[in-house]
Amino acid sequence: MARRKKIYEGKAKTLFEGPEPGTIVQYFKDDATAFNAEKRDVIEGKGVLNNMLSEYFMNGLTQIGVPNHFIRRLNMREQLVKACEIVPLEVIVRNFAAGSMAKRLGIEEGTALPRPIVEYCFKDDALGDPLVTEEHIAAFGWASQQDMDDILSLALRVNDFLSGVMFGVGIKLVDFKIEIGRVYEGDYQRLIVADEISPDSCRLWDIETGQKLDKDVFRRDLGSLTDAYSEVARRLGVMPKGATPMKPTLIN
């Protein structure tokens, strides 16, 4: 294969220059990190599963008219996406209390929230992605008020879509994180869903048993991460050939 120019290497993905201007190849690695990369491991097969799952969710968003960066999957580990300028925010949507919010506000994990709560964190690993308010975002110029209106609308549309898709396969969407990209079309700019949507960036609980099928399996040492992600892929019908389904012994 011709040598490609690496643009960026993140914790779970590497980005290469794409074949045409305005495109990027997103390579999904098997590396798993948590707690701001203090815990790390290589989980064989995770990258393949996240590549397939992110393709599935992004294609679904395209089908319902939610703009996103996905162009096409290239192979088991790579997908072609639109190049965009990433807004330096992690956009988190929560339907049930969990993780950092449950801890911060002293709410029991799993408590249903009265309405979806959207939070913003400033994307900065060295600072541990701190929670910020719209005041910070406006004052530091990370996004305009119009951008924030568009980001909120995108986040809530993704939430409704993902919640419904997951509900259809017996999974509760507890919370998730998305990233937003800015693309320029002539004189105009548009905001689109970028990065990835996968069990690495969502909390997914089995509706019947409460079993965790997301990265908390790794964060909290609850069993095999690939078994959990394979189960999500199997239920959605996007199980890659040759992957083994979850063993019935995995319980949380």
Whole-angstrom distance, CA of residue 56 vs CA of residue 43: 21
Question: Contact between 101 and ligand UDP (CB under 6 A)?
Answer: yes
Instruction: Determine the 3-state secondary structure of 221 from DSSP.
Output: coil
Whole-angstrom distance, CA of residue 75 vs CA of residue 27: 9
Q: Which of 30, 129, 147, 195 binds ligand UDP (CB under 6 A)?
A: 129
Residue written as tokens 């991460």?
A: 225
In sequence order, the β-bridge partners of residue 192 are 181
In sequence order, the β-bridge partners of residue 206 are 171
Q: Which of 12, 25, 73, 90 binds ligand UDP (CB under 6 A)?
A: 90
In what helix (H) or strand (E) does residue 147 lie, and over which residues does it extend?
helix 145-168
Q: How far is the CB of 64 from ligand UDP (least distance, A)?
A: 21
List of residues 6+ apart from 4 with CB closer than 8 A: 16, 17, 25
Question: Contact between 203 and ligand UDP (CB under 6 A)?
Answer: yes
Question: Contact between 217 and ligand UDP (CB under 6 A)?
Answer: no
Question: Contact between 177 and ligand UDP (CB under 6 A)?
Answer: yes
Q: How far is the CB of 200 from ligand UDP (least distance, A)?
A: 6
Of the candidate spans 15-23, 94-102, 157-165, 231-239, the one that interacts with ligand UDP by CB under 6 A turns out to be 94-102
Which residues contact ligand UDP by CB under 6 A? 90, 92, 98-101, 129, 175-177, 201-203, 215
